[in-house]
A and B are shown apart, each in its own frame.
Chain A
Amino acid sequence: MTTTNGGAALIKALELEGVDTIFGLPGGAILPVYDPILDSPIRHVLVRHEQGAGHMAEGYALSTGRPGVAMVTSGPAATNIVTPLCNAYMDSTPLVVITGQVGTPAIGTDAFQECDTVGITRSVTKHNELVTRAADIPMVIRQAFHIATTGRPGPVLVDIPKDIVDPNNPAAHFEWYWPTDDEVSASLPGYKPTIKGHPRKIKDAAEMTLEATRPVIYAGGGILKARAAEALREFAELTDIPVVTTLMARGAFPDDHELCLGMPGMHGNYTAVTAMQRADLLIALGSRFDDRITGRLDGFAPDAKIIHVDIDPAELGKVRRPDVPIVGDCRQVIEELNKVIHKHLDGGREFPDRSEWRSQISGWQETHPLTFEQSAPGELLKPQYVLEQLRERAPEDCIVASGVGQHQMWTSQFWHFTHPYTWVNSGGLGTMGFSVPAAIGAKAGRPDRMVWAVDGDGCFQMTAQELVTASTERIPIKVAILNNAYLGMVRQWQEMFYEERYSEVYLSPDLPDYVKWAEAMGCVAMRVESPEEVGPAIDKANQINDRPVVIEFRTDSAEKVYPMVPSGKTNDDIVVDPTQPDPVGRNSGATR
């Protein structure tokens, strides 16, 4: 038996959990834990703001599938990481966040940098725990990783008072132990995620799938969490059913597959939105009928029966009552479903004639593809053109992160996703400032991959300082700022729904000077204003591998994201690009 102390035990526990990177920033309460980091093989990435640490951990998790780890001190550092926790909670991203806390005797006394971290983060974590005894640390860390990564994944926060990690405190010493899997399960009597789907329900789902004449697979982020992309592809091909991939599932099914209809939702593909509306069967796999997908609920997919597979029982029936609810891990359930359907097909069963459905879908694809008009000479760049060029010039397996706003929607629309875990974005919470730190985290987790962040000028100004982190730590990400001089998405709403009354959305194209700013942070920086410069600038950026690169693209502020389902409207009221036929027969939609 070896004695250890809380601080050393914490780092050792992280090593044993397979952690290779911690994103963090030290301070008083967490000091004793930072000392053993010097002797640990774990890489610590020193951030410039704790929000950055959280989003980096998210980017790491989204690109690797392994839990992201962040470590910060108490009080203001803990509150700074609340946004990433909430973001990870909404997007079911596995994180383990360790916060320092004032010593146990000082808890509750309003001590310096004390805050009720566990209380503040309770509703934005899957679970959190204040550890009060050093000897509990190995078990609590094992529990944290187990809870974060199993069932519906999510962030877990562990709050560590300073005295229990202080090697000078005799009470912080204990006999090292490492709990077994069984001991961990036994210590969590209330936590048993359902993995295997109910066989009878799977049979029912197969039956429904075999009968449908207008089926659509509605694939959500759960596919990626369950590592079910392969199984999904097999299912789609076996059944010849088209697939929509939500904002959270981009990459879960290849965009270049003939069955792929693209992204549904408020700014989804016309075909994806409309196919869901007209479907007689929606097979929801790891998706949650978010309001950005359904539009006004009472008009959503009125004729569709629903098969809903999710590992979180609370999602089944939360928004739309499924005809066949299946609780379970998406991969396992889809694999079982494939087996059952195979058996039916081997036994001579056939799908009904779905040729009419297929031709309807290809009709929509023909009349309403994603589109934009190239800018005339002397005009500002079209953001969609920039994205097309970025995509074309990046390797197939390039990872792309985005902020939140118009640029995010264009990235999701115009980036052709062909690999899972290549899309890093903030879906449920819509957190501006996500992309730069998330891209850094993704690159730290996948140094073998090229990583682009596509950011808005508004978003960039929220977390840009993490490029200093990227420069110092030699994490060579690439950032494309789509500088439209506006909080563009808000501007778009004001244009379309507030009679062009622009209130507090103008930012300025040249204040700050993005090139100087990026250079000051150790990046290579470029400014691009005309279409012919776009390609060469991107190629140049793609060749730089020893430091971060920032390209500022001056884009047209009047450009809007289409299609758009106005909020409060049903998906039938979708507004398409003004150059395309209006499906609802309004004479003219909004102007370009």
Chain B
Amino acid sequence: MSAAPRYHVLSVLVENRAGVLARVANLFARRGYNIYSLAVAPTDDENFSRITVVVDVESAPLEQVVKQLNKLINVIKISELDPRDSVERELMMLTVKAPPGTRSEILELAGLFDASVIDVGVAELTMSLDDTPQRLDDLEALLRPHGIVDLQRTGRVALPRLDHAAH
């Protein structure tokens, strides 16, 4: 991925109730904003969910996206997470061809990335990796020549980076 991010990461706190995700998704579709990835789950307080959504900035000015989202009655708070000021994680599971000839090479790669092998077949391996989206991209690129059979990513989740200096 290039240095200047072409995406924005929004962390959207919403009421945890039926139809809220549909409202958010509907708004993006209706206003022509492209969603790059989306992850949603309840927060520590069950009344609320957090949607982490990666928006393609080419498709819409961020300010409008945020303001339109804010108009949804069930949306409580939106923060933009600048990749430089936040910690991000994403989970990827992938199945790669791993016949006896290349299996050890693949396992070595997995080890270098701290990926875990979670299923082993006759000629394939399934591994999982949770790390930054960039690291996921890297592993994917390195495994691609071996033949990726299946791949599933969760979309990123993120939280603001904490203050490191003592006050």
Interface residues of A (CB under 8 A from B): 118-119, 122-123, 126-127, 130, 147, 188-191, 312-314, 317-318
Contacts and interface: CB of A to CB of B under 8 A. Distances in A.
A147 B67 contact: no
Contacts of B71: 312, 314
B54 interface: no
B53 interface: no
Interface in B48-100: 63-64, 67-68, 70-77
Contact of B22 (A119, A127, A312, A317): A119
A190 B14 contact: yes
Nearest to A327: B67
Contacts of A314: 64, 67-68, 70-71
Contacts of B70: 313-314
30 contacts: A119-B22, A122-B22, A122-B23, A122-B26, A123-B26, A123-B27, A126-B73, A127-B73, A130-B18, A130-B19, A147-B73, A188-B73, A189-B15, A189-B76, A190-B14, A190-B15, A190-B72, A190-B73, A190-B75, A190-B77, A191-B73, A312-B71, A313-B67, A313-B70, A314-B64, A314-B67, A314-B68, A314-B70, A317-B63, A317-B64
Given A122-B26, A318-B64, A190 B74 contact: yes
The 10 closest A-B pairs by CB, nearest first: A314-B67, A190-B76, A127-B73, A123-B30, A190-B75, A191-B73, A313-B67, A122-B26, A189-B76, A314-B68
A129 B63 CA distance: 27
Interface residues of B, number: 21
Contacts of A191: 73
Contacts of A147: 73
A119 B64 CA distance: 23
Contacts of B19: 118, 130
Contacts of B15: 189-190
Candidate in A118, A126, A190, A317 with the most chain B CB atoms within 10 angstroms = A190
Contacts of A188: 73
A151 to B, nearest CB: 9
A267 B127 CA distance: 65
A318 B63 CA distance: 9
Contacts of B72: 190
A97 to B, nearest CB: 16
Given A119-B22, A122-B26, A190-B75, 9 more contacts: A118-B19, A123-B27, A123-B30, A130-B19, A189-B76, A190-B14, A190-B72, A191-B73, A314-B68
A318 B68 CA distance: 10
Contacts of B23: 122
Contacts of A318: 64, 67
Nearest to A188: B73
B26 to A, nearest CB: 5
Nearest to A127: B73
A318 B74 CA distance: 22
A432 to B, nearest CB: 23
A119 B75 CA distance: 18
Contacts of A190: 14-15, 72-77
A190 B64 CA distance: 18
Contacts of B77: 190
A191 B18 CA distance: 17
Contacts of B30: 123
B124 to A, nearest CB: 38
Nearest to B68: A314
Contacts of B18: 130
A297 B15 CA distance: 38
B45 to A, nearest CB: 11
B162 to A, nearest CB: 25
A130 B19 CA distance: 9
Contacts of B26: 122-123
A188 B74 CA distance: 7
A189 B73 CA distance: 8
Contacts of A189: 15, 76
Contacts of B64: 314, 317-318
Nearest to A156: B73
A313 B67 CA distance: 7
B61 to A, nearest CB: 8
B19 to A, nearest CB: 7
B85 to A, nearest CB: 24
A365 to B, nearest CB: 38
Nearest to A316: B67
A147 B77 CA distance: 18
A89 to B, nearest CB: 12
Contacts of A317: 63-64
Contacts of B74: 190
Interface in B18-43: 18-19, 22-23, 26-27, 30
Nearest to B77: A190
Contacts of A130: 18-19
Nearest to A118: B19
A313 B23 CA distance: 19
Nearest to B67: A314
A189 B13 CA distance: 11
Nearest to A132: B18
A119 B22 CA distance: 8
A313 B69 CA distance: 11
Nearest to A318: B64
A127 B74 CA distance: 9
B79 to A, nearest CB: 14
Nearest to A190: B76
Nearest to B30: A123
Contacts of B14: 190
Contacts of A122: 22-23, 26
Contacts of B76: 189-190
Contacts of A313: 67, 70
A119 to B, nearest CB: 7
A154 to B, nearest CB: 10
A341 B6 CA distance: 44
Nearest to B20: A190
B67 to A, nearest CB: 4
A188 B76 CA distance: 9
Candidate in B19, B30, B71, B75 with the most chain A CB atoms within 10 angstroms = B71
A348 to B, nearest CB: 40
Interface string B110-149: 0000000000000000000000000000000000000000
